[in-house]
Chain A
């Protein structure tokens, strides 16, 4: 397995995948991922024309042809977006498909004249990593270094352009030049990339590593590094699989492995993954439900003037809540010694009373803050307080109390219950 051809293919795909991932990260963050896809498709006519007009086997000609076609496509998309009422998605897919169609037209012309086979032009469609030659490898290494150098040189500019283009222009950055540099880098990345994975799947090398990396980190340098790592592992995996299984194409396997990384990251990543976000939402909902129940019990005690118990049925009526959710919450509260179950229903423990009192206090403090400081009408503030009572931290509570001068009653003349210490 470790013959020179395999090593060559492995090195080539590693270089390509990681450098494309780094360049793609910026367009991913800018929300323009598919422009890279369009450029990849649009390179086809440039590459074929370069073959017709120049020496097709020389990588230099191909790169120049690709560069010109890519720049035309990029500025074509920008022109359509800015000067017509067509939306960006239409501009992108229009340029993508018509350029590609023109490329196919030229390619069939070349193939009819019988030169196509020598040029191996079909490798641009789905890529042919196995055909990487030693010369290619030198060119790839050079380009990969050039790409990384370009990103390093323009790092600040790219970063600003990505997050806030208007701001970048306002502080006097040459946004046109930066954009041009970025486009050139993208075209270079794509030119090299399509020889491995092909025009159609190039988008995956630009987009998927970033989508995967973004769900693990919010820090740009770390994201670039992670994206490059994901891409490298995918290149490694894809090359191994295609070497181990007969006839299997390398490019599509790299893309499949990348897709696996992407989708699993989006699902399982801590904090930003889908599961983590669902868990967080559930725990927030849970907390709100618990606090609401404790508040309800505290309110009942307050009205009765003494500790009393409430049946689950009465709670359902009062909070218009589902019975199932309620029994689950009650069970949890019982386990944490916040409520006790008695023959006549559920009652607060001392611990639960402190917690219920806290929620009621926050509710009333916030109502008072809204009327006193923000001038809201007393009959509009209840829904706001229903939300804020679950959010306010002890620190903010202390600040509000200080700001309002240790108030005694809320806008509805209900007492604000403080802890007696």
Chain B
């Protein structure tokens, strides 16, 4: 497989997974929780890395995703039980956890080979060089596999859980009457977001995951008012944004993650302008 194809496919798989999950975050007004999770997994990544000594192993994904869920629970407790404004709960929680992550990475810097900046904005360009082998046969880049599996999981999760996600996103009371557990759906969605963050952090970095989660979904929300169409459009915008971003940064020879986020932003700005013009 050519390196270019590997990078492009990894970017596309990641982008579509995030875009689909992001659609539900936008509807639930929980995008900032997604942002918080993407920062908060850092200590999880550091600890899991120290224990497993590898960048992309199953324990690492699970460990870091658990920290993401932990962050969600802390935010819920702060805002619901301790009556802190929800904005402040999010801000306090993720900054503290992220600072802890940075301190841990610095403290174990001789044992944990993680670069702070790599964590922040990813190294998707290095994806092709990180391969794995099975029975002596090269299986291709790890990140490609993990993002492919992530996409598969997200699609299965969305198809199986569509009704529950739909109901609990729009009308909590009605969902409760139907016996759909709001808390359980919330937690499962946040677990998926954590997983997506951990899988993506190596390719696009902790902060740009947020762009992938929010921008395509926000653009789709602007132009459609039906959930299925919105999810499909969100995935499409994620796809076009990541492809366009890849081409942009290839042309300028700059950070791919930065290029993708910029393109996603431009897509939104164009959609916003068109919608505003049509209103007038």
Chain A positions within 8 Å of B, measured between CB atoms, are: 28, 31-34, 37, 41, 80, 83-87, 89-90, 92-94, 96-109, 112, 122, 125-126, 200-201, 203-204, 206-208, 210-211, 247-249, 251-253, 255-256, 258-259, 262-263, 266, 274
Given A90-B26, A93-B35, A100-B211; 20 other pairs, CB 8 A cutoff: A33-B87, A84-B222, A85-B221, A86-B222, A89-B30, A92-B32, A93-B31, A98-B211, A104-B208, A108-B249, A112-B253, A125-B116, A200-B120, A204-B99, A248-B107, A249-B106, A256-B96, A256-B100, A262-B96, A266-B84
- Cross-chain contact A101 with B264 (CB below 8 angstroms): yes
Closest 7 CB pairs of A and B: A101-B261, A98-B265, A259-B96, A105-B258, A104-B258, A204-B95, A108-B255
- Cross-chain contact B261 with A37 (CB below 8 angstroms): no
- Cross-chain contact A101 with B88 (CB below 8 angstroms): no
The yes or no answer to B151 lying at the interface (CB within 8 A) is no
- Cross-chain contact A98 with B261 (CB below 8 angstroms): yes
Chain A contact residues: over half helix, strand or loop, or mixed? helix
Chain B positions within 8 Å of A, measured between CB atoms, are: 26, 29-32, 34-35, 39, 78, 81-82, 84-88, 90-92, 94-96, 98-100, 102-103, 106-107, 109, 116-117, 120-121, 207-208, 210-211, 213-215, 217-218, 221-222, 249, 252-255, 257-262, 264-265, 268, 272, 275-276
What A residues does B260 contact at CB under 8 A?
101
One of A99, A105, A122, A211 near B88 (C-beta < 8 A): A211
What B residues does A41 contact at CB under 8 A?
207
Chain A residue with the shortest CB-CB distance to B211: A97
What B residues does A85 contact at CB under 8 A?
221-222
- Cross-chain contact A204 with B106 (CB below 8 angstroms): no
- Cross-chain contact A105 with B255 (CB below 8 angstroms): yes
What B residues does A86 contact at CB under 8 A?
26, 218, 221-222
One of B106, B211, B222 near A247 (C-beta < 8 A): B106
- Cross-chain contact A97 with B121 (CB below 8 angstroms): no
Chain A residue with the shortest CB-CB distance to B107: A248
What A residues does B102 contact at CB under 8 A?
126, 249, 252
- Cross-chain contact B261 with A266 (CB below 8 angstroms): no
**What are 19 A-B contacts with C-beta separation under 8 Å?**
A33-B90, A87-B29, A93-B35, A93-B214, A98-B262, A105-B249, A107-B258, A108-B255, A112-B254, A126-B120, A204-B91, A204-B92, A206-B91, A207-B88, A208-B92, A253-B99, A255-B95, A256-B99, A262-B92
Give min CB distance, B271 to chain A, whole Å.
10
One of B85, B91, B103 near A37 (C-beta < 8 A): B91
- Cross-chain contact B254 with A105 (CB below 8 angstroms): yes
How far is it, in angstroms, between the C-alpha of A287 and the C-alpha of B268 when the chains are bound? 57
One of A90, A94, A106, A252 near B99 (C-beta < 8 A): A252
One of B85, B217, B258 near A108 (C-beta < 8 A): B258
How far is it, in angstroms, between the C-alpha of A247 and the C-alpha of B104 when the chains are bound? 12
What B residues does A125 contact at CB under 8 A?
116-117, 120
Give min CB distance, B2 to chain A, whole Å.
23
- Cross-chain contact B207 with A90 (CB below 8 angstroms): no
What B residues does A274 contact at CB under 8 A?
81-82
What A residues does B222 contact at CB under 8 A?
84-86
Chain B residue with the shortest CB-CB distance to A255: B99
- Cross-chain contact B109 with A247 (CB below 8 angstroms): yes
One of B90, B103, B218 near A34 (C-beta < 8 A): B90
Chain A residue with the shortest CB-CB distance to B74: A263
How far is it, in angstroms, between the C-alpha of A329 and the C-alpha of B92 when the chains are bound? 40
- Cross-chain contact B268 with A98 (CB below 8 angstroms): yes
Q: Given contacts A125-B117, A200-B120, is CB(A105)–CB(B99) below 8 Å?
A: no
One of A28, A102, A107, A200 near B85 (C-beta < 8 A): A28
How far is it, in angstroms, between the C-alpha of A200 and the C-alpha of B91 when the chains are bound? 11
What B residues does A206 contact at CB under 8 A?
91
